[in-house]
Amino acid sequence: MNAKVLIIEDEKELGELVQLFLEKDGISSVLCSTAEEGLDLLKNNSFDLIILDINLPGMDGFEFLQIFGKRSTTGVLILSAREADEDVVLGLGLGADEFVTKPFAPKVLVARVRALLRRLKTPGESSTGISFGKYVLHPEGYALFKEGERIVLSTKEFDVLRFLVMHPGKVFMSSEIYSAVWNQAYGDITSVAVYIQRLRKKIERDPSNPEFILTIRGKGYLFNKDGG
Ligand code: CA
């Protein structure tokens, strides 16, 4: 894969480790230690993907994203020490494509980078989307659009939504959604309710009175493609 990655990470050893693992996988990268340097590099170079640390000296990752803005052709993978940062980034609509929480296994990070690069290369327009209400979901491109505008979803949020959208009109128990999306038979199935709640906040007009992702009391959830 002929891709170029910009790594913005102030922990030198960690940055170099990531760089080394990407290199082993044939992905070339440039490492810098501040967001300011990163913005400078972006002025004269194009990158396919940015691996961005949140906690940086000077300008932090959030501020970087605000300045960098949403550029659909450049992917952003956030490295963060706190899971709560994901909510901040998504809540502010800062346009990140992927989150990896520290500490992480370098192999896992490289796999996420590869998956993201593939996703970015998938032309969303040419793949067939699935419509519901004012939305179009592109299962391969990992993208959801509302009247042409991209709705930012985390990978897992997208996975849950995709599962529901692809099985409209059918009732699923939390445990069924869990085993299908998380690929595990057992685990914390309460996560399903958490993700459904997040999705409702993003796609429902009134999240407390959903029209797409319906709760069927005592049975589970049903996706109503004619809602909205
Ligand atoms: Ca840091």
Tell me the CA distances in angstroms from 135 to 149, 165, 204, 227, one per residue in order: 9, 11, 11, 11
User: Does 86 or 198 have the greater pLDDT score?
Assistant: 198
Q: Which residue pairs from 94-98 have beta carbons closer than 8 angstroms and sit at least 24 positions apart in sequence?
A: 94/62, 94/65, 94/66, 94/152, 95/65, 95/69, 95/70, 95/71, 95/152, 96/52, 96/65, 96/152, 98/155
The Å distance, Cα 80 to ligand 1 centre, comes to 8
Residue 56 CA to ligand 1 centre (angstroms) = 5
Reported CATH class of domain 4-125: alpha beta
* pTM of the predicted model as reported, rounded to 2 decimal places: 0.58
Distance 40 CA to ligand 1 centre (A): 19
The tens digit of pLDDT for each residue in 145-156 reads 998 888 888 888
32 CA → ligand 1 middle, Å: 12
- Encode pLDDT of 88-105 as tens digits: 777 667 778 888 889 999
CATH class for the domain made up of 128-223: mainly alpha
- CB 189, CB 208: distance < 8 Å: no
Domain boundaries, the chain: 4-125, 128-223
